[in-house]
Amino acid sequence: MSQQSLQDNYSGVFDGRVGYGQKPAIVVVDFINAYTTPGSPLYASGVVDAVLASVDLLDIARRNGILEVYTRVIYSPHGMDGGVFVRKVPVLRKMVEGEPLADIVPELPPAPQDVIINKQYASAFFGTSLAPMLTSQGVDTLIVTGCSTSGCIRATAVDGMQYGFRVIVPRECVGDRHPAPHEANLFDIDSKYGDVVSKAEAMEYLASCVQATSV
């Protein structure tokens, strides 16, 4: 199927836009050393690029008082809390507290006011307090950055939409280990679950939002 026929096939059915709301939050999904350290089984050069692209986006959000939530994958030493997921992807068992590969990348250090959530599955929402926390803060728009596009980003986008948030994915700020699943999942997210936009567009929106986070 040609690229043109693909667009024609989706046109008028899967090309709606969710747009931006009034109060955004940033979710930084699993930007951890495991994906950016050469020699790590999970290393992905596309994630390295996405980390670097996210620095100024997170900076402008922080300057404007926008809530930033970081996630990382952490399991108990026996891995039982990983269920079938760690059976499917055994390398994840290495992600335990104290393992340097499980730490958030130094290029994007969380600030004291940021929130760090430990998760065990792909979606940042599954089994975590993310949804009620965002709701309690009056958030209606979710800017999703992180990795990987075909895994945790897609799962977070789907759940974000299902929880009623406007999901926005800045293209340059998410990454995967191969361009094919990266592009395919960006296409699906943009078609059905949220809006995939340029980093420049997302930054322009964040620059227009000055928020006071409630407690």
Task: Give the CATH number, domain containing residue 46.
Answer: 3.40.50.850
Q: Please check whether residue 94 lies inside any domain of the structure.
A: yes
Query: Residue 214's pLDDT band (boundaries 50, 70, 90)?
Result: very low
Catalytic residue among 147, 152, 173, 209: 152
Residue 13 in domain: no
pLDDT (mean) for 113-138 = 97
Supply the pLDDT for residue 82: 96
Q: Count of domains in the chain?
A: 1
Q: Is 152 a catalytic residue?
A: yes
pLDDT tens-place string over residues 131-183:
999 999 999 999 999 999 999 999 999 999 999 999 999 999 999 999 999 99
- Does residue 117 belong to any structural domain of this protein? yes
* Residue 65: pLDDT band with limits 50, 70, 90: very high
Longest dimension (CA), the chain: 51
Question: Which range marks the domain in which residue 175 is found?
Answer: 21-207
State the pLDDT at residue 215.
Answer: 46
Whether 8 is in a domain gets the answer: no
Give pLDDT tens digits for 84-100.
Answer: 999 999 999 999 999 99
